[in-house]
Amino acid sequence: MIAQADIGLLDGFERALINNRLHLVYQPKVSLADGTLKRVEALVRWDDPALGSVPPSRFVPLAERHGMIDPLTHWGLRTALRQWRDWHAQGIDLCLAFNISALSLDQLDFPDLVERMCRALDVPTDRLVLELTEGSTQPLIKLMDTLTRFRIKGIGLAIDDFGTGYSTLMQLRQLPFTELKIDRFFVTDMIASADSRMIVRMMIDLAHGLGMTATAEGVETEEQLHLLRDFGCDVAQGYLISRPLAPDTLAEWLRDWNQRWPPLIEPLRPPVPAPA
């Protein structure tokens, strides 16, 4: 049974989708080796005149439960691919990361649909990465065939929020992921906790050992950035680098970032000695 509060929300979400009142913001993901912009992750936003700003953590699961996830995925993917084409025309070359609900992967023809969308919008398939979080409905291993079809088409696959879900190492070994995203929890916790530090280091080595790129989510401090760099993490994403951006501000952010990066990677200054 659907809760009363959810009925209003679902109704509002459906109207927002139909009337094109959702929009996407894009969060930069940068290389920890040299600071270059590698990717942007598209994140959906819903600002409702009556309900205010509704977070995706509230409406995406609702859309999943009530048969609205495919329309959201199709709208979002088309919007993000069009945006990629605009950036490309401006000379900004990057990969586009897009979050996909595991439920959308139930249809075997979904990889063909995504490939057709890319072709129609002139986006090379190797510029697209799909980020997957394991849903509670089914283990990712059941999606092996669909995931393999994406890889055959050149589309990248990231396992999102790694370390907090149900993914086993056995699944990680078998599934054709190209990127492992370390959940924000561990990145935040690793400064205070030696255990989390060890886990982050292990996840980076694990990703590399299995031929994947290691990405840290939720990087908020310089200390975290330095540690991740020391551990050999490839890519970082988080508020320290940038909050999710409106698409027309990416070029300006990039200019600013190119100035900010060199001082950011200078070694942490030693503490000032106490006066004698």
- Note the residues at the interface with Mg ion (CB under 5 A): 99, 131, 160-161, 217
Cβ nearer to ligand C2E, comparing 1 with 102: 102
Examine residue 161 and tell whether it contacts ligand C2E (CB under 6 A).
yes
Q: What angle do CA 197, 202, 205 make, to 5 degrees?
A: 130
The number of C-alpha atoms within 13 Å of 84 and in the hemisphere containing its C-beta is 30
Among 9, 16, 32, 44, binds ligand C2E (CB under 6 A): 44
Examine residue 28 and tell whether it contacts ligand C2E (CB under 6 A).
no
Cβ nearer to ligand C2E, comparing 10 with 60: 60
Minimum separation from the CB atom of position 1 to ligand C2E (A): 24
Question: Who contacts 115 (Cβ-Cβ below 8 Å, separation ≥6)?
Answer: 125, 153, 155
Examine residue 220 and tell whether it contacts ligand C2E (CB under 6 A).
yes
Examine residue 43 and tell whether it contacts ligand C2E (CB under 6 A).
yes
Examine residue 115 and tell whether it contacts ligand C2E (CB under 6 A).
no
Cβ nearer to Mg ion, comparing 12 with 236: 236
Sketch the per residue contact string, 172 through 191, with ligand C2E: x for CB under 6 A, - otherwise: ------------x-------
Minimum separation from the CB atom of position 259 to ligand C2E (A): 20
Query: How many amino acids of this chain bind ligand C2E (CB under 6 A)?
Result: 23
Cβ nearer to Mg ion, comparing 16 with 237: 237
Q: Where are the alpha helices (DSSP H) in the chain?
A: 4-18, 56-65, 69-89, 110-120, 144-152, 169-174, 184-189, 194-209, 222-230, 250-264
Q: What's the Cα-to-Cα distance from 101 to each of 104, 175, 239, rounded to whole Å?
A: 6, 16, 24
Minimum separation from the CB atom of position 41 to ligand C2E (A): 6
Minimum separation from the CB atom of position 69 to ligand C2E (A): 7
Examine residue 99 and tell whether it contacts ligand C2E (CB under 6 A).
yes
Please provide the DSSP assignment of 169-195 as one string.
HHHHHHS--SEEEE-HHHHHHTTT-HH
CA atoms of 10 and 275, how far apart (whole Å): 63
Cβ nearer to ligand C2E, comparing 40 with 175: 40
Of 190-198, 211-219, 228-236, 257-265, which segment contacts ligand C2E by CB under 6 A?
Answer: 211-219
101 three-state secondary structure: strand
Of 5-13, 50-58, 143-151, 191-199, which segment contacts ligand C2E by CB under 6 A?
Answer: 50-58
Helix axes 56-65, 69-89, angle to 10 degrees: 130
* CB contact at 8 A, 245 and 28: yes
Which has the closest alpha carbon to 94: 39, 131, 42?
39
The number of C-alpha atoms within 13 Å of 187 and in the hemisphere containing its C-beta is 29
**Token pair belonging to 87:** 């950036």
Cβ nearer to ligand C2E, comparing 166 with 239: 239
User: Residue 163 binds what, of Mg ion, ligand C2E, none (CB under 5 to 8 Å, by partner type)?
Assistant: none
User: Residue 101 binds what, of Mg ion, ligand C2E, none (CB under 5 to 8 Å, by partner type)?
Assistant: ligand C2E
